[in-house]
Amino acid sequence: MQGYCPVTYLDGKQRYEALIPGRIDFAAEYRGKIYLFQDEKHLDQFMRLPEMYWDLKLPNKLPPMKEPIPLSSLPMLGYMEQGAALSIIKALTAVGCLKPKYPFLSVTKSAILYISYHLKAYNPNSYHYLRKKYKKKLEQYEEHCHLIVYLGSKMSRKYREPKDRPIDFDHKLQTFLSLRHADHTQASIP
């Protein structure tokens, strides 16, 4: 059968469209020949009644066998589309939904930092502990971005005594002010 699944071919009334390549994971030997099947269901069907499938004749014209293309052989744009597009789309969607504004940084720098943390936190090719580390950094970054909104909503024009302020106000204000001299260069983002 030259690697095509005999069960799908016969079930498809031996039409050209029914020629489906089998997978090496689902292989069986019968009468000295190796047969490949599309999935385990088709393998089981063959094993119940192999006489029905063993002597099928293929058409003269066969569909081309599909060979997987390694990502590294693609041009740069193709590699980016196939390898990183989904992660980048998710990061851009997240930054668009959150619209982060980090204290004392421009909106552009805030968005770029958020995207970089998101890509590192959800990189499927990264080690679990690194993803976990960057998810914590991303959460902390989001908390720092929310400080501006929180402080803006809780501050008043008149001075309030500490006993009249919200419980966590002073802590959040100190955190906000401590971010003024934070280093956000590439060297500080491991």
> Does pLDDT of 190 surpass 70?
no
**DSSP string covering 84-98:** THHHHHHHHHHHHHH
Span 73-122, pLDDT tens digits = 778 887 777 778 888 899 999 999 999 999 999 999 999 999 999 999 99
In this prediction, residue 163 carries a pLDDT of 81
Distance CA 116, CA 172 (A): 25
Q: What is the pLDDT of residues 40-66, one digit of tens each?
A: 999 999 999 999 888 888 888 887 766
3-state SS of 111-154 is HHHHHHHHHHHCCCCCCHHHHHHHHHHHHHHHHHHHHHHHHHHH
Nearest alpha-carbon partner for 83 in 123, 134, 120, 132: 123
Under DSSP, the state recorded for 21 is B
Q: What integer pLDDT is reported at residue 74 of this predicted model?
A: 73
Could you tell me the sign of the dihedral formed by the alpha carbons of 94, 95, 96, 102, in that order?
positive
Q: Is residue 25 pLDDT above 90, yes or no? A: no
Distance from C-alpha of 104 to C-alpha of 87, rounded to nearest angstrom = 28
- The DSSP code for 19 is -
Q: In this structure, how many other beta carbons lie within 10 angstroms of the beta carbon of residue 157?
A: 4
Global pTM exceeds 0.85 = no
Cα angle value 109/95/177 (rounded, 5°): 50
* Angstrom distance (rounded) from CA 135 to CA 141: 10
Q: Cα separations (Å) of 9 from 19, 24, 51, 82, 157?
A: 5, 17, 15, 31, 79
Over 60: is that where the pLDDT of 188 sits? no
Residue 165 phi, psi dihedral angles, 5° rounding:
-90, 160
Residue 69 DSSP symbol: P
Which residue reads 């906000």 in tokens?
Answer: 176
Residue 169 has pLDDT above 70, yes or no: yes
